[in-house]
């Protein structure tokens, strides 16, 4: 059993489930390093990301005053998810190249269908 089970408790922010973290890290890293997103998820199904959203996200990362790097394990200390009644909203804190937690968050939505988790990438922004 995961240390952080996947809960459906509305209105309560919780740590991102450990089961999702490897795929979310690969997804965040692919976005930061402008790699191909297709195929990065191994346990979850990746929904397509709108080209305009992808462009916006890459511009947000490039415009951030610190260089954004690979997602550091410390990011999970402040990243959260919350059940919204039909999906989970996630805010994953991106990391700087030095391994610090940045102010940039990667917003994602996760839906569950037939015991399969589908992740829909959203926007990267400073809340």
pLDDT of residue 115: 86
Asked if residue 85 is part of any domain, the answer here is yes
Asked if residue 81 is part of any domain, the answer here is yes
Specify the number of domains making up the chain: 1
Residue 23: C-alpha distances to residues 18, 110, 124 (Å): 10, 12, 17
What average pLDDT does the structure give for the chain? Answer: 94
Give the DSSP H/E element, type plus range, for residue 106. strand 101-113
Asked if residue 7 is part of any domain, the answer here is no
Asked if residue 9 is part of any domain, the answer here is no
User: Which residues constitute the domain of residue 53?
Assistant: 14-125
Question: Could you report the per-residue pLDDT of 47-101, keeping only the tens digit for each?
Answer: 999 999 999 999 999 999 999 999 999 999 999 999 999 999 999 999 999 999 9
Side-chain half-sphere exposure of 106, counting CA atoms within 13 A: 29
pLDDT greater at residue 9 or residue 25: 25
d(CA 97, CA 117): 29
Asked if residue 6 is part of any domain, the answer here is no
- Render the burial of 32-59: b for 16+ CB within 10 Å, e for the rest: beeeebeebbeebebeebeeeebeebee
**Predicted confidence (pLDDT) at residue 1 exceeds the cutoff of 50:** no
**Predicted confidence (pLDDT) at residue 6 exceeds the cutoff of 70:** yes
């Amino acid at each position: 059993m995961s240390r952080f089970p996947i809960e459906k408790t509305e209105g309560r922010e919780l740590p991102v489930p450990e089961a999702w973290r490897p795929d979310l890290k690969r997804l965040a890293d692919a976005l930061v390093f402008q790699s191909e997103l297709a195929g990065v998820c191994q346990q979850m199904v990746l929904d397509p990301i709108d080209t305009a959203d992808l462009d916006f996200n890459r511009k947000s990362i490039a415009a951030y005053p610190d260089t954004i790097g690979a997602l550091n394990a410390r990011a999970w200390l402040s990243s959260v998810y919350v059940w919204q009644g039909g999906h989970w909203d996630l805010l994953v804190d991106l990391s700087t190249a030095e391994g610090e937690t940045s102010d940039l968050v990667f917003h994602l939505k996760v839906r569950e269908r037939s015991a399969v988790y589908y992740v829909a990438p959203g926007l990267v922004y400073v809340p």
